[in-house]
Amino acid sequence: MNSSSWRSIPTVDRISDMPDSILCHILSFHPTKFAATTSVLSKRWKLVWIAVVALYFDQETFNSFASFRNFVWLSMFTLRDKKSSIYSFTLKCGESSRFTQRDWVKIFKFVMERGIEYLNFDMSENYVKLLIGLCDCNTFL
C-alpha cells in the first residue's frame, strides 16, 4: 500500500459526547462485570456503570465463588444508590455457588424494593428447592 491510498481516520470521540442515559442503556446489554470495567476509562465512567438499570451477574466469569459474591455485594449494596430502580436482574450461579438463605433473602429484597420488571435466576438444581422455600415464606410481606 502506498501513501496515496492510505486515508487518515478521524479521531473524534463521539462516545464522550453521549448523555449518561444513552451510555447506561448501551452498558445494560452487557454483563455487569464488563460494565464495571468501563470505570477505568475516566471519572465520568465510574458513575455511569453504577447507574445501569439492568444487572447481569454470571458466576462463570469469576475465578472463585468468594470473588463472585464480593462483586455482587459490592455492585448491589455498596456502590448503587439505595433508591435507584432496576429494570432487569439476572443472577447466573454454578454448582459451586454457596449463597446462604440469608443471602437469597437479601437479594430478593433488593430487587423487589427497586421495581424490578424482569427477574431471571439461572442456577443449578441445588438451589431450586431453596428458592421455592423462600417464595413460600412471608419474608417479603
- pLDDT tens for each residue of 8-39: 777 777 888 899 999 999 999 999 999 999 88
Q: Hey, what's the cell of 11?
A: 479521531
| Alpha-carbon span 6 to 121, nearest angstrom | 51
pTM over 0.95: no
| Alpha-carbon span 55 to 51, nearest angstrom | 10
The mean pLDDT value of the chain amounts to 82
Q: Which helix (H) or strand (E) holds 56?
A: strand 54-58
β-pair partners for 132: none
| Alpha-carbon span 104 to 107, nearest angstrom | 5
Strand order in the sheet with 54-58: 54-58, 88-92, 118-122
pLDDT at 67: 95
Whole-angstrom distance between the N-terminal and C-terminal Cα of the chain? 70
pLDDT at 43: 85
pLDDT at 46: 85
